[in-house]
Amino acid sequence: MHLNRVLKYAAHGWARPFFNIILDTVFPAKCLVCNRLFKPDGIRAGMGRPANAAAEITDTFAQSHRLLAAYCCPDCVSSFAAISSPICSCCGIMFKSRQGQDHLCGDCITQPKEFRTARAAVAYDHQLMAVVHRFKYAGKIQLAGPLGGLMLNAYKRFWDREEVDLILPVPLHNAKFRKRGFNQSYLLIRRWKSISAPMVDKVVGIPVNTDILIRSKATVSQTGLGRQQRLKNIKGAFRVKIPEKVIAKKVLLVDDVYTTGATVNECARVLLKAGAERVDVLTVARAM
Ligand SMILES: [Zn+2]
Ligand SMILES: [Zn+2]
């Protein structure tokens, strides 16, 4: 963790504002996207504290932006774009035309998906890709707080509590889990229950399970593969280990990024085959 942040957590009460000004001057934060040094306004406002970052979240996208402001410079934070209608009513892709209602995209018409709806918080652009890569591949797991916050806002926008019985993070294969040390999808939702904002009612009580759906086949990374290769690569990769726990359940699958949807669609296929009533998908970001 950045020394600046560590020292700021240590400061309390009246001393904190003075302490922060001195620390921001001596140890500015480094933007995770562009590497530029900046004054982390989010931290000064008490928003960047990883241990309770989620507790700061309320129900506006702007406040999720502020959570990321502890890690990214103002220019990069302002570039994160929320998903907004019109979008595909199934896969959630934003249409180029910013006019009209949500409707099915051509891809979902020609190749119907196994899941019911997929929704994401933000568009997967260059800036967000940098943040997600730091989170997944560079061990910046404190980003699970703000990224999970973005996801929770999306959950609140697109689902009602009664619409979900069970939350399942997309699993990693055991070998990959051991190598990485964590499942990023699980980290993104792990702290949801500690949220003290009004949206707490929407998520408390929905079980999160990491044992029901497993990845039984080690696959090469989907990154860099074309659509057909992705489908072939992921086919048969998942297994429902405890089928009785998904029967008649409305499942919400969570993952970090939706690219072609091949991974979540394959998860949805095996879950429906095992008896799930329906499967929805929530991700932090959506490739456009
Ligand atoms: Zn930046
Ligand atoms: Zn679609």
Closest CA to 90 of 107, 70, 75: 107
Q: Is the pLDDT of residue 48 over 60?
A: no
**What percentage of the chain's residues is helix, strand, coil (to nearest 5)?**
45, 15, 40
Looking at every residue in the chain, the average pLDDT score rounds to 82
For the CA of 92, the nearest ligand: 2
**pLDDT bucket at 7, cuts 50 / 70 / 90:** low
Write out pLDDT tens, residues 108-159.
999 999 999 999 999 998 888 999 999 998 888 888 888 888 888 888 888 8
Rg (CA), the chain: 19
Q: Tell how far the Cα of 81 is from the centroid of ligand 1, in angstroms.
A: 15
In DSSP terms, which residues pair with 240 in a beta bridge? 213
Q: Tell how far the Cα of 217 is from the centroid of ligand 2, in angstroms.
A: 27
Contact 67, 164 (CB under 8 A): no
Q: Tell how far the Cα of 184 is from the centroid of ligand 1, in angstroms.
A: 23
Q: Tell how far the Cα of 35 is from the centroid of ligand 1, in angstroms.
A: 6
Q: Would you say the C-alpha torsion 253, 254, 255, 259 has a positive or negative sign? A: positive
| pTM, to two decimals | 0.82
Contact 239, 214 (CB under 8 A): yes
**DSSP-derived pairing of the beta strands 278-286 and 250-258:** parallel
Q: Tell how far the Cα of 87 is from the centroid of ligand 2, in angstroms.
A: 8
Share of the chain above pLDDT 90, in %: 40
Residue labelled with tokens 């907004």: 84
For the CA of 115, the nearest ligand: 2
Q: Would you say the C-alpha torsion 196, 202, 203, 207 has a positive or negative sign? A: positive
Q: Tell how far the Cα of 288 is from the centroid of ligand 2, in angstroms.
A: 11
> Collapsing DSSP states into helix, strand and coil, what is residue 261?
coil
Q: Tell how far the Cα of 226 is from the centroid of ligand 1, in angstroms.
A: 30
pLDDT of the residue at 65: 74
What is the rounded distance in angstroms from the CA atom of residue 223 to the CA atom of residue 55? 33
What is the rounded distance in angstroms from the CA atom of residue 267 to the CA atom of residue 273? 10
Q: Which residues surround ligand 1, an ion (CB under 5 A)?
A: 31, 33-34, 73, 76
Q: Tell how far the Cα of 234 is from the centroid of ligand 2, in angstroms.
A: 20
For 31-40, 56-65, 72-81, which range has the lowest pLDDT when averaged over its residues? 56-65
Write out pLDDT tens, residues 193-213.
665 454 455 566 688 899 999
The one-letter amino acid code at 164 reads V
pLDDT of the residue at 157: 84
**DSSP-derived pairing of the beta strands 278-286 and 118-123:** parallel
